[in-house]
Homo-oligomer: A and B are copies of this chain.
Amino acid sequence: MNVFAGFQPKLSEGSKQARLVFLGNIQPDLQRGVREQIPNADLVALDTMNLWIETTRDSLQKTIEVVDLVIINDAEARQLADEPNLIKAARKVLSWGPRGLIVKRGEYGAAMFTKKEYFAIPAYPLEAVFDPTGAGDTFAGGLMGYLASQEKIDEAAMRRAMIFGSVMASFNVEEFGTERVQRLTYDEINQRFREFKRFTHFEEIPFERAVKAVQ
């Protein structure tokens, strides 16, 4: 028995005009049904999980074929592509159609694969993780929210959106539920964004020049 029998999401006229769509983690036929109601969206992202990969793989792949961005975790990406090497797994998922694959790696950060680019960031370093529930969802929500604030969704905006999502997730896990996120200020967000820049920055100096400097 399918407990979702009869559940067929019907979007309001307003929702059908959405510029950005995030297909939350539900049965992939239903996700595709929603996606088809918003044919003109600029960007449609999708989340999924091991249950759908195992039980509805064909439908899931069909749904992935009609979205722009897949946002899943490390283990799901490998399982989805049936490929232990993440770079190969990403290439395979991208070959199905999406423009991008974002892989969430928990305390190791996140990576984004597109046909031409690769981008990877660490997680915000936290000494106290009070409640990790919803960290991945907060990341995805923050990412989509950031994109919604942008006029142009290009590689640079996607990268900033990943940082923004990571910042939001870092706040979310510091307290129970949505408590911390609810009282967040722009200043706090921007401060962690700047910290991300600080702890990923390095100078690019060709090695030969460095050697010559001491010779």
Contact = CB atoms under 8 A, between A and B. Distances in A.
Contacts of A211: 149
Interface centre among A197, A202, A211, by most chain B C-beta atoms within 10 angstroms, is A202
Contact of A122 (B111, B129, B203, B208): B111
Given A193-B204, A194-B204, A109 B122 contact: yes
Nearest to A205: B160
A213 B151 contact: yes
Contact of A86 (B87, B107, B197, B208): B107
A82 to B, nearest CB: 15
A87 B193 CA distance: 19
B206 A190 contact: yes
A85 B127 CA distance: 7
A207 interface: yes
Nearest to A164: B207
A176 interface: no
A4 interface: no
